[in-house]
Amino acid sequence: MRWEEQLSRAGWRITMPRRVVMRVLERAARPLSPQEIHARGRRLHRSLGLVSVYRALMVLERAGLVRRVHREDRCDGYVLASPGHHHLLVCRRCGRAVEFPGAEDLSGLIAQVERRTGFRVEDHLLQLVGLCGPCRDL
Ligand SMILES: [Zn+2]
Ligand SMILES: [Zn+2]
């Protein structure tokens, strides 16, 4: 399914900022911060504002089209998301982010956390950090 279809099925319109953000992320080799997306997006559409980029990212994330990547410098990045529940592997040297399917062997851990804390867990984000193949060989 094309992203435009996925977005409209989720009940959102296809606007210029959403289209530009998707085009920028489709060409990106690593997660990009909203500022980086804005800088690249302005080359495609000069009137693109930073606030529109933030809003577009929020909508695209809720529609499951982009995924937020936590970076240690507190400046979160965004990558395209494949459909379904995935987790992320992030290389701490080159910043490359790779998705892997959510193999849900977390249920034991989650049940334990619920027992200990009294929380009802509804969702989780999992991001593993390490070195990718090429960076390990450096
Ligand atoms: Zn790497
Ligand atoms: Zn999971």
Classified as helix, coil or strand, 135 is helix
Digit-coded pLDDT (tens) for 85-96: 888 999 999 989
- pLDDT tens string 21-77: 999 999 998 999 999 999 999 999 999 999 999 999 999 999 999 999 987 777 789
Nearest to 18 by CA among 72, 80, 69, 76: 80
The one-letter amino acid at 30 = R
What residues pair up with 91 in beta bridges, in sequence order?
Answer: 130
Residue 83 is predicted with a pLDDT of 79
Compute the distance between CA of residue 70 and CA of residue 31 in angstroms, rounded to an integer: 9
Q: Please state, in angstroms and as integers, the Cα–Cα distance from residue 94 to each residue in 62, 76, 100, following that order.
A: 27, 15, 18
Considering every ligand atom shown, identify the ligand nearest to the alpha carbon of residue 130 and give its number.
1
Q: For ligand 2, an ion, list residues with CB under 5 A.
A: 102
Q: Is the pLDDT of residue 13 over 70?
A: yes
Q: Which domains does the chain have, with CATH numbers?
A: 1-82 (1.10.10.10), 84-138 (3.30.1490.190)
User: Measured in angstroms, how far is the CA atom of residue 129 from the centroid of ligand 1?
Assistant: 10
